[in-house]
């Protein structure tokens, strides 16, 4: 009887021990049933003999930086209105530069991304689209053509402290003495553009020059520039004709007035939209006199004028069409773009992307640092007619634009799909004195 009670008690004790062991398994998931739990040494100590140190399961801090996102560069240019012929060249010049840089590995492994906005040649829309680009995180913006867009956008760029690269916004109002984030790249300030015209007129011995400008910011700025530059030169400029902007403009009375005054050359630099119509009318009303254009894409003008352009249409530009560097760049551009000719707008646009990429590689993608890098350095860009360097306020410091006239050609192989016409160099301007606002 006692023996049976003892056995029953031992069975109960064994069962109780199994229950306790089972409860212990539930409470400590680091142990495995049927094996001894290892003893873990405290940090900085050695495990006691006969025990096994558990591997340290605490994850080390991740010191690998997260991959940086793309370098965003903004494009703001007219793609659907008056200055679309300029705008499509700007667009494709920037796109081509981005592709080439990305194909070469980007900037320190980071890819570039072009963020595009259409200014629609409207000041308010241009400002709104610039602000959108900044909100999207761009490091810089390039492209404005129209002075009516460039000036108000430049004011906002200064407020937001984001670099803005103007291509053809030549109004003097785009820069102030305090500008630090706005940079001209192709067309210098309007007060500077009359100098090459006077230089050419004097070299040709001209005594009478007619001038026609558009009734908006750029035209009025060119008017003042011509009046100031030609004063005391001995060359008569007569009454400067101020004409409205197309499409409703009839240029006949304006061109007739210059012809009747005996103009030996017509300066239409201040009227970009009217270039083709002015050249056509001048052939009938003024005879075989050269007409200077307004830094326009030459293929657009020649396409409209055909034979009337040969030996008559002259224009300025920031591209050195005669250099091997330009011609190599143009061949790549024509293989890349649907455009038939690489204008200086595309050359400047290509340069903007490459300069910004260089700056980001040197100082990072902070817009203020990029602007400071621009001011501290000068740039030799392929196909560009002069070194890109700036004054403290962002004016071109050593611009030497080329002045050419359309010739019969032939064009160098592979650089002009718009025809066989080419250029004759009239003069490359002496370094222009930077305009100080």
Beta bridge partners of 270: 213
Q: What is the DSSP string of 225-236?
A: HHHHHHTTSS-B
Same domain, 287 and 375: no
CATH number of the domain enclosing 369: 3.40.50.2300
Give the domain extent around 371.
71-187+320-399
What tokens appear for 213 in the block? 């400008």
Mean pLDDT of the chain: 87
Nearest to 409 by CA among 399, 398, 397, 418: 418
Residue 5: pLDDT above 70? no
The reply to whether 231 falls in a domain is yes
pLDDT tens for 332-366 read 999 999 999 999 999 999 999 999 999 999 999 99
pTM given for the model: 0.82
43 found inside a domain: no
32 has a pLDDT exceeding 60: no
Same domain, 81 and 167: yes
- Check pLDDT > 50 for residue 38: no
**7 falls within a domain:** no
Average pLDDT over residues 19-43: 35
180/230 same-domain check: no
| 182/324 same-domain check | yes
CA-closest candidate to residue 375, choices 391, 386, 352 = 391
Plot region of 419 (φ>0 → left; ψ -120 to 50 → alpha; else → beta): left
Collect all residues with Cβ–Cβ distance below 8 Å to 363 and sequence separation of at least 6.
369, 370, 372, 373
pLDDT of residue 122 exceeding 60: yes
Using CA atoms, how far apart are residues 111 and 98, in angstroms rounded to an integer?
Answer: 9
Q: Is the pLDDT of residue 15 over 50?
A: no
Q: Does one domain contain both 213 and 178?
A: no
pLDDT for 193 equals 92
Is residue 376 assigned to a domain? yes
Q: By C-alpha distance, which of 265, 288, 311, 308 is closest to 407?
A: 311
Q: How confident is the model over 62-73, as a mean pLDDT?
A: 72
Structure confidence by residue, pLDDT tens digits, 144-195: 999 999 999 999 999 999 999 999 999 999 999 999 999 999 999 999 999 9
- Between vectors from CA 122 to CA 121 and to CA 125, what angle results, nearest 5°? 120
Question: Is 93 inside any structural domain?
Answer: yes
Same domain, 98 and 181: yes
Residues 277 and 351 in one domain: no
Tokens for 373, please give them: 């890098």
40 pLDDT tier (thresholds 50, 70, 90): very low
Helices 344-363 and 324-336 meet at what angle, rounded to 10?
90
What number is the average pLDDT over the span 291-316?
A: 92
Burial class (CB in 10 A: 0-12, 13-18, 19+), 326: buried
What's the token pair of residue 389? 């360097």
User: What does the alpha-carbon distance between residue 319 and residue 89 come to, in Å, rounded to a whole number?
Assistant: 13
- pLDDT at res. 386: 97
Give the helix/strand (H/E) hosting 377. Answer: none
> What's the pLDDT at 12?
35
* Percentage, residues of the chain above pLDDT 90: 79
Within this chain, do residues 172 and 201 fall inside the same structural domain, yes or no? no
Question: In 3-state terms, what secondary structure has residue 294?
Answer: coil
CB-count burial class (<10 Å; 0-12, 13-18, 19+) for 72: middle
Q: How do residues 402-412 score in pLDDT, each as one tens digit?
A: 999 999 999 99
Task: Please tell me whether residues 329 and 258 are part of one structural domain.
Answer: no
What is the pLDDT at residue 418? 96
Q: Do residue 176 and residue 218 come from a single domain? A: no
Q: Is residue 101 part of a domain?
A: yes
What are the pLDDT digits (tens) for 81-97?
A: 989 999 999 999 999 99
Which of these, 234, 304, 269, 240, lies nearest to 401 by C-alpha position? 269
The reply to whether 339 falls in a domain is yes
Kindly state whether residues 372 and 279 are assigned to the same domain: no
Domain for residue 374, yes or no? yes
Whether 86 contacts 77, CB under 8 Å: yes
pLDDT of residue 380 exceeding 60: yes
Q: What is the mean pLDDT of residues 137-147?
A: 96
99 and 156 in a single domain? The answer is yes
Count of domains observed in the chain: 2
Q: What number of other Cβ atoms are within 10 A of residue 215's Cβ?
A: 14
pLDDT at 113: 98
């Amino acid at each position: 009887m006692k023996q049976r009670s003892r056995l029953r008690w031992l069975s109960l004790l064994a069962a109780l021990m199994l229950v306790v062991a089972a409860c212990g398994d539930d409470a400590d998931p680091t142990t495995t049933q049927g094996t001894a739990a290892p003893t873990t040494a405290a940090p900085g100590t050695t495990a006691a003999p006969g025990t096994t140190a558990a591997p340290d399961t605490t994850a080390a801090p991740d010191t690998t930086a997260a991959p940086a996102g793309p370098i965003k560069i903004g494009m703001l240019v007219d793609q659907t209105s008056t200055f679309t012929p300029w705008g499509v060249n700007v667009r494709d010049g920037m796109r081509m530069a981005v592709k080439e840089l990305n194909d070469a590995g980007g900037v320190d492994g980071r890819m570039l991304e072009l963020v595009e906005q259409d200014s629609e040649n409207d000041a308010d829309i241009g400002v709104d689209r610039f602000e959108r680009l900044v909100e999207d995180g761009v490091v810089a913006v390039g492209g404005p053509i129209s002075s009516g867009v460039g000036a108000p956008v430049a004011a906002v760029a200064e407020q937001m402290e984001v670099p803005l690269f103007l291509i053809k916004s030549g109004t003097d109002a785009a820069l102030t003495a305090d500008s630090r984030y706005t940079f001209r790249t192709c067309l210098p300030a309007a007060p500077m553009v009359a100098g090459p015209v006077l230089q050419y007129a004097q070299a040709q011995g001209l005594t009478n020059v007619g001038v026609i400008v558009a009734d908006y910011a750029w035209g009025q700025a060119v008017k003042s520039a011509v009046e100031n530059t030609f004063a005391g030169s001995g060359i008569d400029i007569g009454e400067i004709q101020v004409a409205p902007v197309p499409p409703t403009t009839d240029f006949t009375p304006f061109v007739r007035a210059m012809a009747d005054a005996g103009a030996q050359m017509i300066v239409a630099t201040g009227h970009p939209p009217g270039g083709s119509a002015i050249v056509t009318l001048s052939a009938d009303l003024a005879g075989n006199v050269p007409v200077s254009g307004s830094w326009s894409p030459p293929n657009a003008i020649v396409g409209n004028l055909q034979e009337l352009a040969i030996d008559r249409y002259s224009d300025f530009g920031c591209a050195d069409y005669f250099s091997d560097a330009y011609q190599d760049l143009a061949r790549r551009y024509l293989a890349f773009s649907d455009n038939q000719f690489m204008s200086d707008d595309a050359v400047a646009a290509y340069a903007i992307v490459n300069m910004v990429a260089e700056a980001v590689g040197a100082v990072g993608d902070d817009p203020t640092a990029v602007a400071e890098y621009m001011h501290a350095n000068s740039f030799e860009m392929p196909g560009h007619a002069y070194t890109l360097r700036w004054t403290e306020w962002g004016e071109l410091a050593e611009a030497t634009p080329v002045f050419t006239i359309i010739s019969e050609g032939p064009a160098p192989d592979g650089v002009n799909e718009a025809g066989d016409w080419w250029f004759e160099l009239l003069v490359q301007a002496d370094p222009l004195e930077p305009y100080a606002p």
